[in-house]
Amino acid sequence: MAVPFFSGARSFERRWPRIRELLGEALDSGAFVNGRVVAQLERALEDYTGAAHAIAVGSGTEALIVALESCGVGRGDEVAVPVYTFFASASSVVHVGAKPVFVDVLPGSYAIDPGDLEARVTPLTKAVMPVHLFSQMADMTAVMDVADRHALTVVEDSAEAIGMAFDGVPGGRFGRAGILSFFPTKTLGALGDAGMVLTDDDEVAERCRRLRNHGQVPGERPYVWDAMGINSRMDDIQAAVLLARLETLDDDLARRAELARRYDARLADVRGPVQTPAIVDERATAAWYVYLIEADDRDRLVDHLAANGIETEIYYPRPLHLQPCFAELGYGRGDFPVAERCASRAVGLPFYPDMLDEQVDEVCAAIASFYERESEPAAQTEGVL
C-alpha cells in the first residue's frame, strides 16, 4: 500500500457539509477576495491566537513581505534570518529591499541559535526573524533578550506554528508581527495558497491592510493609492475551507500528537542510526506539523522508501547560504556547520491527521527493512568469498 506524504481528502469529505455552507456564503455575496468569509476567518484567528489583528493575505510568503514592510524594514536594512528554513524567510527580506544576514541553528529544535545571532548583529541590523519549524518554537526568551539589547524589531516566521507556544505564548505573538501559512499541507491548510499576518500593533495592522490591497486605504476612494502595495488578497473559497477546518483544529492537533507518539514508539524498535524528533525545551508547547527524523545515509533511505511507495519530503536539502540565488551574499560551505549537518540528515515522514495507524507502521517497517538490508551485504560478501 502506497503512503502519500500528505492527504487531506478524507477529512475534507467529512467536513464538506460545513465547508459547503461557508462556501455558499461567499458565493451569495459575489465577493471572491477579501470578502465576508475572509473577514470571518480573520476574527476567528484573532480569537484563536489572541492577536489584536489578523490580516489575511495570499500566502505565507506574502505575509512575511507585508509584515516586514509594515514594520518599517526596507532598503539599507539587514535582517537576521536562520539559515535552515524555507526560502521565503530570506526571500521576503530581499523583496522589501533589505539584506538577509544568516544565523546558524541549534540541533534538535532547528531554530535560530541566540548565541550566533548575537555574534552576527551589526549596526545595520534592523530586525530578526526567528522561525519555528516542524513541531516546536525557537527559544523566544533568548531571542527577545538579544533583540531587546540590540533594539531589533522581531518579525516571527510562525508559518508552521499554529498550535505551538513558548512559555504559554502562542507562536506569532512574541514579535511586533508574526505570520501564518495555510499552504495545503500545513496544520491548518487550505486548498491553495493563503496566509495571515498577526499583530497587536494597530499601526502595523493598518499598513498591512493597505499593502495587501495595492496600497488602497480601506474605506477611502477606490483607485487612490497611498503606498506601492501588492495584490495579496486571500480568496473566500480558501477562507471557507480554513474556517471549517479551524473548528476542528484542536482534534487535528491531538491526532497529530498521537501519530507522533506512534512513530516514536515504532522507530524506537528500529535497529539503525535513526534519530527521532524531540521537544528540546520544557517551556515549548509542541504542535506536530512535520515529523522529521535524522538518519545516516538519508538519501538512500529516501530512495528505499520511494521504492516501497512511501513519499517523503526533505526539509531542507540545502541551507539558504548555499542556494545559488544567495551566492552574492558571499557565504561558503562550512559557514553554518549545524545547518549543513541537518541538511544532509533530515527527512520528513508522511504525517497528517488522515493518516492511518497502519500506515505509520508500514513506514516504520520500511525504514527497519532498509537498515536490516544495509547490515546484510557485508555478511553475504563474506559468504561468497
Instruction: Indicate the residue among 219 and 377 with the shorter CB distance to other proteins.
Output: 219
| Stretch of 104-112, 214-222, 357-365, 366-374 lying at the interface with other proteins (CB under 8 A) | 214-222
Binding test (CB under 8 A) with other proteins, winner from 72, 108, 184, 273: 184
Q: CA 235, 238, 240 angle in degrees (round to 5)?
A: 105
**Cβ of residue 231: shortest distance to other proteins, in angstroms?**
4
Q: Is 316 in the site for other proteins (CB under 8 A)?
A: yes
Of 211 and 274, CB closest to other proteins: 211
Residue type, 38: V
Min separation Cβ 65 and other proteins, Å: 9
Q: In a 10 Å sphere around its CB, with 0-12 CB exposed, 13-18 middle and 19+ buried, how is residue 328 labelled?
A: exposed
From the CB of 292, what's the least distance to other proteins, in Å?
14
The reply to whether 289 sits near other proteins by the rule CB under 8 A is no
Tell me whether residue 61 or residue 187 sits nearer to other proteins (CB atom): 61
Instruction: Tell me if 273 sits within 8 A of 295, measured CB to CB.
Output: yes
DSSP label of 274: E
Among 17, 151, 219, 228, binds other proteins (CB under 8 A): 228
Whose CA is closest to 344, among 317, 304, 313?
Answer: 317
Which residue type does 207 have? R
* Among positions 53, 233, 256, 298, the unique one binding other proteins when judged by CB under 8 A: 233
CB 195 within 8 A of CB 238: no
Q: Which is nearer to other proteins, 47 or 299 (CB)?
A: 299
Cβ neighbours, 10 Å, residue 192: 15
Q: 131, 101 in Cβ contact below 8 A? A: no
The mark string for 86-125 relative to other proteins (x by CB under 8 A, - otherwise) is xxx--x--xx-x----------------------------
Cα end-to-end distance, the chain, whole Å: 38
Decide: helix, strand or coil at residue 292: strand
Q: Which stretch binds other proteins (CB under 8 A): 85-93, 142-150, 156-164, 363-371?
A: 85-93
User: Residue 53's closest CA among 229, 158, 196, 164?
Assistant: 196
Is residue 17 close enough to count as binding other proteins by CB under 8 A? no
Binding residue for other proteins, selected from 33, 41, 165, 310, defined by CB under 8 A: 33
Does residue 185 contact residue 315 with C-beta atoms inside 8 Å?
Answer: no
* Interface with other proteins (CB under 8 A), residue from 40, 49, 58, 289: 58
Nearest Cα neighbor of 98 from 70, 126, 67 is: 126
Q: Is 317 in the site for other proteins (CB under 8 A)?
A: yes
- Does 214 bind other proteins (CB under 8 A)? Our answer is yes
- For residue 344 the three cell numbers come to 544532509
Q: Among residues 104, 116, 235, 362, which is the contact residue for other proteins, using CB under 8 A?
A: 235
Q: If you ran DSSP here, which 8-state letter would residue 348 be given?
A: E
76 to 127, 141, 147, 199: CA distances (angstroms):
12, 28, 19, 24
Place of cell 516566521: 157
Residue 164, SS3 per DSSP? coil
Q: With respect to other proteins, which residue has the nearer C-beta, 48 or 87?
A: 87
Instruction: Compute the distance between CA of residue 179 and CA of residue 51 in angstroms, rounded to an integer.
Output: 11
Q: Quick one: which of 41, 56, 60, 212 contacts other proteins (CB under 8 A)?
A: 60
Are 272 and 301 in contact by the 8 Å Cβ rule? The answer is: no
Stretch that binds other proteins, among 52-60, 122-130, 273-281, 290-298 (CB under 8 A): 52-60
DSSP character at residue 385: -
Q: Measured from the CB of residue 40, what is the shortest distance to other proteins in angstroms? A: 17
Could you say whether residue 74 binds other proteins (CB under 8 A)?
Answer: no
CB of residue 228 to other proteins, shortest distance in Å: 4
Asked if 325 interacts with other proteins (CB under 8 A), we say yes
Q: Does 30 bind other proteins (CB under 8 A)?
A: yes
Contact footprint for other proteins (CB under 8 A): 4, 6-9, 12-13, 16, 19-20, 23, 27-33, 58-62, 86-88, 91, 94-95, 97, 184, 191-193, 214-215, 221-231, 233, 235, 237-238, 241, 313-318, 323-326
